[in-house]
Structure 1
Amino acid sequence: MTMTQRPTGALGQGFLARWRPPVTLLICAALFLAGSAQAQPNDPAVSGRIVDASGWAVPGVSVILRRPASGFEQTATTDSDGHYGFDQVPDGAYSITALLPGFSVARKEVVLGREPVVVQFTLRTGSFAEDVTALGSRLVGSEETLRRTPGSVDVLTRDALEASHVFTTNEALRKVPGLHARDDEGLGLRPHIGIRGLSPGSSVKALLLEDGVPTAYAPYGDNASVYHPPIERFARVEVMKGSGQISHGPVTVGGVLNYITPDPPVGRSTSVSLSGGSRDYFNGHLSFGGTWGTTGLLFDVMRKQSDGAREHQHADLNDFTVKVASQLTPEQGVSFKMNYYGEDAQLGLSGLRDSEYIEDPRQNPFVDDELDASRSGFTGTYRALVKNNLALTTTGYVQVYRPEWWWQSSHSGQRPRNPADPRCVDPIDVTPQCGNQGRSSRYTVLGIEPRVRIDHSLFGLSQETDVGARLHAEIQERQLEKGATPTARTGILLEDNRRTTDAASAFLQHRFLLGAWTITPGVRVEHMRHERVNRLGNEGTGVTGNATLTEVVPGLGIAYAMSARVTGFAGIHRGFAPPRVEDLIANDTGSATDLEAERSWNTEVGARALVAPGLRVDASFFQIEYENQIIAANLAGGEGSTLTNGGETLHRGLESALSFDSATLTRGSNNIYARLAGTWVPVARLTGVRLATLPGGELVSVSGNRVPYAPESLVSFTLGYRRTALLDVQVEAQHLGQQFGDTLNTVPSSVNGQQGLIPAYTLWNAAATWYVSRPRVSFFVAVKNLADRTFIVDRSRGILPSIPRLVQAGLSWRF
């Protein structure tokens, strides 16, 4: 690995010289693919034909075109030849659902623009309320399924993300109520996601999925989001926080985020996006796909680069995905997805000390820190409609993540150099004067997960049963070295660990369909065996230790469809999160520690309602009552503390989402729209007996204090205007309430910056997009942090500042 220092500055400092080849390649590819593209009419419309499994036309099918976020809904009925159609539909992301008694629901998603779209359906005999092709890969399928879902569900669609021209995953997730997406290096490469007042650190209290498959490098042995897929890869993001999340796992304490990749398009489709901006920003994205016969293909490649929030921070990303889906028979299908992600970044770990932040919040004393990482993944899925009332999905996956990270200081408490160690012989004394540390790791994850859905009746009552199992294995190879100089890329071996996890899990969820009522009890069982091998232990002969853990996770949910537009829901479930292998098994002795798993009881009551055409409101009350929340052993906070049983905590609050679109009400081409996501967490406190150690060694009680990094209020508000196929302009405010950086609830900043209040702040963004009909090109300008204000976003490793003002512009060409 080579180290290249990059100057931080505006676009243009060597940008064209360095990135002319990839830009030229993208443009040439677009011109080549556009050569045989046919011109299309400008009027947006969707049409198609519906047949049964034998290929016969099916008349009388109700076809519903929906845009759930705005409350848009239109219905058409197939004619004698099975044809349907919708004309003059505003552009955007839609779902199309086909309903007919005696047949299972069929559903597809489309993005309507300035050309007609043809969507064909094949109906299968049965009574499933969800398209069986979505089983296992999605949290929620059709709108009909959502009405029966006993919990809060939020969906971010691609058109909403594109209208805002989101720069990072954090910016996107703040649009979801209940989510606290904390910034880190300013690039959103490793989001810290907190849910309903839980700690956002490394997203360990959230379960992250991609098409239903865990994305963390070790979801059972170390559920941290050191790797996170880029937001540009996805068509939508699903978030579930209710009792329904027990059908996934292992983590159920906060919520589930499922990132959905786009399916191969029905017709041939190509899109090219190019954008650039301040702080050496460039993003090139090419997507091409289509369906030939019964096989669809999607090819997606992205190149992204930018400077970070501070000096001497920069990242280059390359992301490549191929997705293939084939319908083998009317009842069977397979799909495969292959992905490669590469990251070359000039990034470290340490934040700033208080004096450093006051002097210059954008400074970075460590110019030689570097991360070089790659991640390869493969997922294969087989789906079959075994009988009219029995659907099977089996998914196999393998992922390999290889990071190599060198840093001079892991946190601000390691500076200045220890005067008692002038020769820097203490491995803990890692400072700019004393060299660096480097961690080389290899994480391998593989597993298989079959799921079955059965639609049946008992004693005349309609019922659905979901049952599934997972066999999962993890291998963590971790080495830590101490280099002699800040630029060293090899050194003294301090740690050489192999950590493995073998896990088996199963779940059962049963839905009683009682007219307007849906009652869903369920249970999940997790069993895992961890092993830790310290190859350097016992004077080089090695130390091995292991531990096992079994947990039963029950849940119960109720949904009541008060009307076709209003659904109430309530639920309770067991929250569970396993401890990390490194905290569960002692490195020196191999003995099991007394660290327990995180356990809680999670309850919520809420409703989602389409109040009027164009006006949708969701709201829920929630409570998370922890029996044992794992937190830093030194409750004064700060990085470097070991983890321990934190005891009881209580989180209680309200969250709501509102969306309004005037065009849905007026059926016109002019649309004034608004989006609001709000979270209020008045209670997030330590309720058990707990003591904290002050710097002088004195023990004080922190019972009743607020949990760190739990802001009381979170608000995201977007107001915009859209003229169909012409213009979209919007302004957005993202507000974050004040937080404490430690359980002592310290207000003044400590010397190392790791303790103290994080004041509230509001970040303003704006974006404008212009659409040209022929060729089908759109141009955009986006500004992040309009006021160019600087805020503190984190203190855990020292003070980290917010992103500076970013100005970005670009174009997108679709054909």
Structure 2
Amino acid sequence: MHFLNLIILILLSSSIIIAQDEDETIILPDIEIQSSIGDRTRLTPGSTNYVGRDLMDKLRGLTVGEIIEEIPGVISEMDDGDTRKANFGIRGAHSRRSRKISVYEDYNPLNFAPYTDPTTHYIPPDERIGGIEVIKGSGQLTHGPQTMHGIINFLNHRPPKKGAGKIITSFGESNIGPRQQYHIRYGRDFGKLGTWQGMFTRHDNRGPVKGDIIDYNDYFLNGDIELTSNQKLAITLNYNHEDSEYAEGGYGLSQYIADPEMGNKRLFDDTFEMDIVRTSFAHSYYANENLKIDTNIYYNFVYRQRWSQTDNEENGLTVRNDINCTSAGSRVDVSGVTNANCGYKNTPRRYHTAGLETRFYKDINWFGKPNNLKYGIKFEFEKIERKARQTGSDKKQTGTQMAEDGTEFAKMSEDAEVYALALYLEDDIQATDKLIMTPGVRYESYYLIHNDRERKDGCGATGVTDCNNYTSYEKDEYILLPGLGFTYEANNTNQIYGGLHMGMAPPAVGDAGYRQISNLKSQKSFNFELGLINKSFEDKLGLTFETAAFRTVERNRPVKSSLRTAGTGSKLKNIGTTFSDGIEFSANWDQSRYSKNSRNWFATLSYSFMYPKLKTHQKGERDSSVDAGSVIVVDDIYENDIPFVSRHKGLLTIGYGMPNKWDISTTARYRGEYFTDIDNSKGIGQSGRWGQVDDYWIINARGNYTLTNFNNSTLYISLTNIFDTVYIASVSAEGLKVGNGRSIMTGIEYNF
């Protein structure tokens, strides 16, 4: 309560200052609300990383996920061939649907329902991204609610101040089929109406297996308006429509060995449809030279539904048992299997997320020391509807399929509302000329109302008349998260940083389902890090490097007792304490920084090591016969590796070229082995849901050529997975998925 009173007092004090200075007009830099890093990188405590558009263009990643993996400690697991499902993890966070990190686009949340269902099935098209920010230290306390591992923020291109546009066309081929990407944008200054920019992007890409086609159109409009000499407004409007062929169910082991590219054999109608509407209004008010106020109002609407005729069962990817198929229960790779008479399992989801955040930047002098205060308040509302049912073969849902009878939403029908309030305060204290201390604190509170209208098992299909099995519950939680960071600049070329903070992540429906969320506790963590940035050799040798050591002590991490135990499905439970110790290292070398040659070499090295350990005494569960047999209690899991966290990850890029004219380069990527259950089982199970995932190397290459006589337009070619390495990209309760095979893309970026 004292903390709340303090925050309210600070806000009121700021309001008084604003009132006193409202007649003062100041011309200050461009709007910054989209980025917490930018020019403020030096004042962001802890480890931060930034990937700019120039580097993205130079590397020509096949997907955004490949670009993300340039950052030490960040992983991206392939699921759909275009990284639409955004399986990102940071410093030991489970990457499944990025549920354990906060993902933003211009600090508008991309997690569909951040407090209860923070899944991500969408990230912006790579052509639209102007840069990517990652915060891994205590600086993430000014964001949330997931603050244990890190945050990712995608920055869109801002409207140009002079009329300019770009057309990007990319064509290519993978082992599965063609890949096509189109992008056009144009922006200009409209005088008093501000600068505006419109963008259109289309992707039509084959995934890593037969039956996966990612197909979407993206429409985007943003504008920057100078309301007065000290007030600016940024407006964003976005609509994205996806109509993809996508089987969420993955392989069993024998299917992967026999034909890793088979998918659903293109015999079954597995589709994913999604409509997204995203809006935000970001206002910056420069009250005076010492006070700036940013306010962001956002609203996101998502409607997505999956139609599936296949699913992962004990023996692999099969025809669903519950949709009246002629081949129900058969593996999709069995000779003569068909989808004759097949219906569908339909899982519609609807998300509404609205928020209001006001952030104050205040420069003051306390006790003779300069202080840069950053404090704010955020309100967020979420409404979620999740349903599942079996239907007939008519996707148009005519006849009785939409009737409220025993078959309507027989699998699941639930909704939830969340009311959340967050307060935060961070202060950059200039303790000495070289040392900045940054204490901070975040207060999180949310209130959840859940209604479950799930039918009883067997309702309708077996003629059961008493179908109602309604439940309802309410839950609230209040958490205070302190932090302390520091930055020490020994000179202009060396910086030491570090810090500690507490983090949290609310239990997600992906962890246990809404009915079980009441039994799960929020994850909490104690995070420690110490890092060094060195630029001493940049001018003479073209070399810079950064290294950081960290420890994350986590409580109540949700893990599967075993992905292969009968009856557990994808449900999780809180486990005790986990320790994730790690080291990150990155180095960049650019010969052009010191050489007078017209052509020069360049290189990048990145390496991350993790030592992820379960620090709780608990018996594991194992079955030596079949995946879903009777449960056998086995040895203590203490000191086993945390599931889904690999110990090693690295990449090396070597290139040669003429700056601003042409370049060629090749990259070797490595991902170490990891386990997917707390037993640390060595082999992959027959269902493909558990076991040890082997390490792998991927070799990529690319080239760029700038057409100086055509407005510096660019021709490029890129090759991904040159040696066509077959590897397991992810393992989950839906089975195993493979990564993209050999792919080649070529295109042109035409500037006008």
Shorter-normalised TM-score: what interval? 0.7 to 0.9
Residues 318 and 329, structure 2, Cα contact 8 Å, conserved in 1: no
Residues 535 and 543, structure 2, Cα contact 8 Å, conserved in 1: yes
> Could you tell me which residue of structure 1 aligns to residue 373 of structure 2?
465
> Could you tell me which residue of structure 2 aligns to residue 666 of structure 1?
595
Alignment of structure 1 residues 1-16 onto 2, 5 Å: none
Matched letter for residue 670 of structure 2: H
> Could you tell me which residue of structure 2 aligns to residue 380 of structure 1?
281
Residues 794 and 800, structure 1, Cα contact 8 Å, conserved in 2: yes
> Could you tell me which residue of structure 2 aligns to residue 287 of structure 1?
185
Structure 1 residue 416: Cα displacement? 7.8
Describe the superposition over 1:556-594 as per-residue Cα deviations: whole angstroms up to 9, x where unpaired. 10111111111101100112000125768864xxx9733
> Could you tell me which residue of structure 2 aligns to residue 355 of structure 1?
254
Alignment of structure 1 residues 350-749 onto 2, 5 Å: 350-365=249-264, 367-413=268-314, 435-484=343-392, 492-493=408-409, 494-514=411-431, 515-536=433-454, 539-540=467-468, 542-580=470-508, 587=515, 593-611=518-536, 612-613=538-539, 614-634=542-562, 636=564, 640-666=569-595, 669-681=598-610, 683-695=611-623, 696-700=630-634, 701-749=636-684
Residues 187 and 198, structure 2, Cα contact 8 Å, conserved in 1: yes
Residues 139 and 240, structure 1, Cα contact 8 Å, conserved in 2: no
Q: Determine whether 1:298 maps to 2:197.
A: yes
Structure 1 residue 506: Cα displacement? 0.6
Structure 2 CA distance for aligned equivalents of residues 721 and 416 of structure 1: 45
SS of corresponding position for 1:202: helix
Change (3 A) 1:543 1:578: same
Structure 1 CA distance for aligned equivalents of residues 521 and 666 of structure 2: 46
Structure 1 residue 191: Cα displacement? 2.0
Alignment of structure 1 residues 144-223 onto 2, 5 Å: 145-223=40-118
What is the aligned counterpart of 1:772 among 685, 696, 707?
Answer: 707
Structure 1 CA distance for aligned equivalents of residues 322 and 247 of structure 2: 23
SS of corresponding position for 1:235: strand
Structure 1 CA distance for aligned equivalents of residues 674 and 682 of structure 2: 10
Residues 557 and 570, structure 1, Cα contact 8 Å, conserved in 2: yes
Residues 498 and 532, structure 1, Cα contact 8 Å, conserved in 2: yes
Matched letter for residue 401 of structure 1: V
Change (3 A) 1:533 1:616: same
Structure 2 CA distance for aligned equivalents of residues 421 and 401 of structure 1: 27
Structure 1 CA distance for aligned equivalents of residues 329 and 388 of structure 2: 12
Residues 430 and 436, structure 1, Cα contact 8 Å, conserved in 2: no
Matched letter for residue 788 of structure 1: D
Change (3 A) 1:259 1:724: same
Structure 2 CA distance for aligned equivalents of residues 385 and 554 of structure 1: 28
Describe the superposition over 1:74-104 as per-residue Cα deviations: whole angstroms up to 9, x where unpaired. xxxxxxxxxxxxxxxxxxxxxxxxxxxxxxx
Residues 503 and 528, structure 1, Cα contact 8 Å, conserved in 2: yes
Change (3 A) 1:237 1:419: closer
Change (3 A) 1:429 1:592: farther
Structure 1 residue 539: Cα displacement? 4.3
Residues 676 and 690, structure 2, Cα contact 8 Å, conserved in 1: yes
Matched letter for residue 263 of structure 2: N
Structure 2 CA distance for aligned equivalents of residues 174 and 422 of structure 1: 40
Structure 1 residue 423: Cα displacement? 7.2
> Could you tell me which residue of structure 2 aligns to residue 19 of structure 1?
none
> Could you tell me which residue of structure 2 aligns to residue 101 of structure 1?
none
SS of corresponding position for 2:491: coil
Structure 1 residue 664: Cα displacement? 1.7
What is the aligned counterpart of 2:31 among 121, 133, 138?
Answer: 133
Structure 1 residue 408: Cα displacement? 2.5
Matched letter for residue 791 of structure 1: Y
Structure 2 CA distance for aligned equivalents of residues 496 and 738 of structure 1: 38
Matched letter for residue 195 of structure 1: I
Structure 2 CA distance for aligned equivalents of residues 412 and 770 of structure 1: 49
SS of corresponding position for 1:795: strand
Moved more, 380-389 or 749-758: 749-758
Change (3 A) 1:582 1:237: closer
Residues 790 and 804, structure 1, Cα contact 8 Å, conserved in 2: yes
Describe the superposition over 1:431-459 as per-residue Cα deviations: whole angstroms up to 9, x where unpaired. 98774311112111101100001100012
Matched letter for residue 634 of structure 1: S
What is the aligned counterpart of 2:685 among 729, 750, 774?
Answer: 750
Residues 370 and 405, structure 1, Cα contact 8 Å, conserved in 2: yes
TM-score norm. by structure 2 comes to 0.86
Structure 1 residue 293: Cα displacement? 3.4
> Could you tell me which residue of structure 1 aligns to residue 207 of structure 2?
308
Structure 2 CA distance for aligned equivalents of residues 421 and 149 of structure 1: 52
Structure 1 CA distance for aligned equivalents of residues 244 and 322 of structure 2: 31
Residues 293 and 360, structure 2, Cα contact 8 Å, conserved in 1: yes
Structure 1 residue 634: Cα displacement? 3.2
Matched letter for residue 533 of structure 1: N
Structure 2 CA distance for aligned equivalents of residues 361 and 428 of structure 1: 21
Matched letter for residue 802 of structure 1: G
Moved more, 763-772 or 689-698: 689-698
Structure 2 CA distance for aligned equivalents of residues 602 and 637 of structure 1: 32
Structure 2 CA distance for aligned equivalents of residues 488 and 761 of structure 1: 44
Structure 1 CA distance for aligned equivalents of residues 185 and 449 of structure 2: 42
> Could you tell me which residue of structure 2 aligns to residue 319 of structure 1?
218
Q: Structure 1 vs Structure 2: percent identity of aligned residues? A: 24
SS of corresponding position for 2:680: coil
Q: Determine whether 1:226 maps to 2:124.
A: no
Residues 171 and 746, structure 2, Cα contact 8 Å, conserved in 1: yes
Structure 1 CA distance for aligned equivalents of residues 314 and 96 of structure 2: 18
TM-score norm. by structure 1 comes to 0.79
Matched letter for residue 781 of structure 1: I
Change (3 A) 1:417 1:185: closer
Residues 587 and 604, structure 2, Cα contact 8 Å, conserved in 1: yes
Structure 1 residue 243: Cα displacement? 0.5
Matched letter for residue 160 of structure 1: L
Structure 2 CA distance for aligned equivalents of residues 586 and 239 of structure 1: 30
Structure 1 CA distance for aligned equivalents of residues 648 and 512 of structure 2: 34
Structure 1 residue 313: Cα displacement? 1.2
Structure 2 CA distance for aligned equivalents of residues 319 and 677 of structure 1: 33
Structure 2 CA distance for aligned equivalents of residues 784 and 420 of structure 1: 38
Change (3 A) 1:583 1:706: closer
Structure 2 CA distance for aligned equivalents of residues 181 and 698 of structure 1: 34
Number of aligned positions between the proteins: 681
Structure 1 CA distance for aligned equivalents of residues 444 and 599 of structure 2: 52
Residues 390 and 452, structure 1, Cα contact 8 Å, conserved in 2: yes
Change (3 A) 1:697 1:191: same
Residues 271 and 308, structure 2, Cα contact 8 Å, conserved in 1: yes
Residues 297 and 357, structure 2, Cα contact 8 Å, conserved in 1: yes
Structure 2 CA distance for aligned equivalents of residues 405 and 315 of structure 1: 14
Output the aligned Cα RMSD.
Answer: 2.7
Moved more, 655-664 or 567-576: 655-664
Structure 1 residue 544: Cα displacement? 2.1
> Could you tell me which residue of structure 1 aligns to residue 13 of structure 2?
none
Structure 1 residue 747: Cα displacement? 1.5
Change (3 A) 1:542 1:744: closer
What is the aligned counterpart of 1:332 among 197, 219, 231?
Answer: 231
